[in-house]
Structures are given as structure tokens and as C-alpha cells.
Structure 1
Amino acid sequence: MRPDLFEAPDYYNLDELLSEEHKLVRDAARQWVKRDITPIIEEFAQKAEFPKQIIGGLAEIGAFGPYIPVEYGGAGLDQISYGLIMQEIERGDSGVRSTASVQSSLVMYPIFAYGTEEQRKKYLPKLATGEYMGCFGLTEPDHGSNPSGMVTNFKDKGDHFLLNGAKLWISNSPFADIAVVWAKNEEGRIHGLIVERGMEGFSTPETHNKWSLRASATGELIFDNVRVPKENLLPGKNGLGAPLGCLDSARYGIA
């Protein structure tokens, strides 16, 4: 197998704008991609399979929530470092980058920004190490680019919420341990809920025959009378601005 001999020419002297820490973060990610992604990615893209063996490596280079504070398991880095890590992973494979940016911006970010202290301590350290993998449930089968039209909903049943609906084109869903799901309450207000794999009525069918992002696992989220504990509601922000704030964070990592 051919070695990855990529060298990044700095045509615009951008390195002059980076700190030494930024360069160390970028170079660590670059070497990891050369060693662990390039040699295997064509095989996994052909098989349309996510290489789960790289999850530990992604965690080691800080790809999961690098800007999350150290007290919650993150690396405590800045947004430039996050962008540099994602840039290097993207060169290796866009699907792998998608896995990492979903974990960071769409799962860890809302728990950090909108969650309770108990939720942060319960989920963020395990997401940072890759022990937990997460996904983000916003897009629906009939309302792909119109999230305000969502029909996924939850009802207050006293000691729990009852969640029903479906989400589609969800990165990481086939193997995710938790899902940050956006749904409307009985007043039609959008809230975020943390749904855990194993909750009765929650399933994640995989989407097959994709033509792109083939090494990224994509699927659905199905909620059939799922009982969600009330402590799994994200209380810090609601309304459509809550999930859109996550997408603002995600767009930077993708760009």
C-alpha cells in the first residue's frame, strides 16, 4: 500500500497567523490521518462502512469536542484548533470528518451550552473519549430543509415524556449511544431531548446505497412511544433557535 506523502504547501503564509500550539494540534491530526485513515479509507468507502476502529484515535487527537472545557473531558482548545483538526480529517475523508463534527458541534455542544450540570458531567466526558458516540436528530422525512415543520413531538406524562416521530439522514445514527433529538411539546415549542440507545421504542435503521460520504454511517431515528426521563430535557434553550445554534457551530467545523 502506498504511503501518504502529502505535504501542505503554505501558499499564502497562513502559518504565520498560527500559534505554536495551533501547529502542534494540526500536525498531530495530520500525522494520525496519514497513518490511520489514508491506508484504509478506500476499502471502507467501497464497502460503505464506517471504520469503528478509528474512534479511539479520533478521541486521542482531540477531534471530539476540542473546545469543550477540560473539566468536562474536552481539550479546552480554541475554535481555530477545532477548525485545523477538522481540516486535516477532511483531507483524509469527508465522512470521517462528518462523524467527528457531528459528535463535537451537534451532540457535545448542545449538551454543554443548553444542558444541566448533571447532564454535562454524565455525558460529555464519555463523548470526549469516544466511549459514547452521539447523533443529532433534526431533519425529518417530510421536512428536510424546513425544520420548523417538524412533526416529531413529546407529551408530558407526569414522571416522563412520551416521544413519537422520526428523523432521516442522521449521521452516526446506526451506532450512536445517544441522540440529541429536537421535538415539539404540546404547545408546539421545540425542545431538545437526550434519547439513549436501549430505550424501548427507539430504533435506528441504517440508510444504504449512498453515493457519497460512504464511510460515514447514516440512518434514521424512529420513536414509537419512547419514554424519556424528564431529566433528559435540555433546559437551557428552546425554540427553533436552539437547534439552529448547533448548526451555526457545526458549519464552522465543516467549512
Structure 2
Amino acid sequence: MPITRPTPQDTARVIFGQAPRGLKRWAVVLLCLTPVVLAGYALQQTYFFYTHYGPVAATYRPRPFWALAAFFGLLALVVCLRIRWRRKSRLIIAPSGLNIDLPPKAPLALSWDEVESIQVIAARGLASRPSPRGRIILILRNGQRLHLDDRFPNLLLLARELQRHLYAERLPKMRQQWEAGQTMDFGALQISSHGITHKRHQYPWREVQGLSIRQGALVIELHHRHKPIRIPVHRLKNPDLLLWWLHEEAKR
């Protein structure tokens, strides 16, 4: 997705969880019908063996089908409870922070200052097209990791909205660090107004030819190196903020 300037909304927005859609919805329907079909077949077998072979056969012969019906019934109950929790999930995004309610867990209120980074894991569907089955991982300063899955609609757009709020909160401090020549930590890469640092190797900005994200990695092209440096995105903190900063703010 393209880099976007961090201009978050000034008002709070509430996002509710949703039940599974598409193939997942039909899979749930099929799962709920399975114990009903098995119980009906077991009942028919019980009647058949009772009328033809007596009560002993009617007790033991259909038992596997009753067991399967009970197993799938319990499984369907668990899935339905999870769907109910999904529908009760709620996310409130505000300029001051966010409130996360993911039943059966207790609700959690966070300020943007408590969020260390936002990691987006975008799953791929058929023909390598983006799929809504990805995840958003909020990494807090205390080390806790909060997962937001596809229970929320438009997951990638939601990730962008969260990033814009986080970036807007971070920018004033980043500008101060940049002007003071201090190092800003982005995980496996550190930057400052003097240059970039990777694996304890420092490269002045005059040696950097370009930076971009390709195939899940940050690619750093240097003038004196034929082979670019590749850093996996999952090893970076807020890679989108890094690129936005380098393309927009660092030019000022």
C-alpha cells in the first residue's frame, strides 16, 4: 500500500467485530448441521436394530454414531461461542488512544504512547491477491503483543488508520531527535540525520542510493555495493513510518 501522510481523524471511531463471511460462514453452517445429521442417522439405526435385533443391539450398534454426534455437537458449540465473542468485539480508536474489547478477555485501554510498534501480517489469497485473513499485531512498550484478526472488517485499512494515529503521536519527538542528531531505533535498522546503522555498520546518507520495500524486505541500495542490503520487514519496527519519514520529513 502507498505511504500516507499521518493525518488521523479528530473524533473517536467505533469498530465492531463481525461474524465469519464467505466460505467460513458456509463451513460453520456445515459444522452445525453435521451433529444433527449424525444424531438423526443414529436414531434411525437405533430404531432399526431395536425392531430387528432387540434392545441389546439397539444399545451398542449405533453407539459410534451417537459418539460422533456428541463430538461434533460439542465442537459446533465451541465455534458458536467464539462467533458470539467475535460479534461482541469492539475497537474504539481516538486521538488520545484506543480501547480494545476482545471477549472473553478483559477490555483494555491504551494511550498511543504505550504502543511501541504496529506489525501487519497480510495473508495472501488465490493468485497472490491480498486476503482479509491477515493480522495486526500491536507491540506494547511492556513487551505485550495484542493480536487483531479478521473479526474486524477491512483489516488492512484498519492497520493504516492505527498507524496514522501512532505516527502523528510520534512525529514531534522524531523531529526533535532528527534535529539533535540523535539515533532513532527501528529495530534492525537505526537512522539519524548523519546516516543509517545496520549490524553495527554505519553508512552516511551520501552513500545511500535508495530505500524501498520489496517482497517483504526493506532494500537499501548503496553506491559502493553491488548487492543491496535486505532486511526482513518483520525485523523492523514500524517500517511504514520509516519510509514515510525518509521520503517526506527527512527532505526538509
Q: TM-score, normalised by structure 2?
A: 0.27
Structure showing greater relative contact order (alpha-carbon pairs closer than 8 Å, 6 or more residues apart):
1
Q: TM-score, normalised by structure 1?
A: 0.27
Q: More strand per residue: 1 or 2?
A: 2
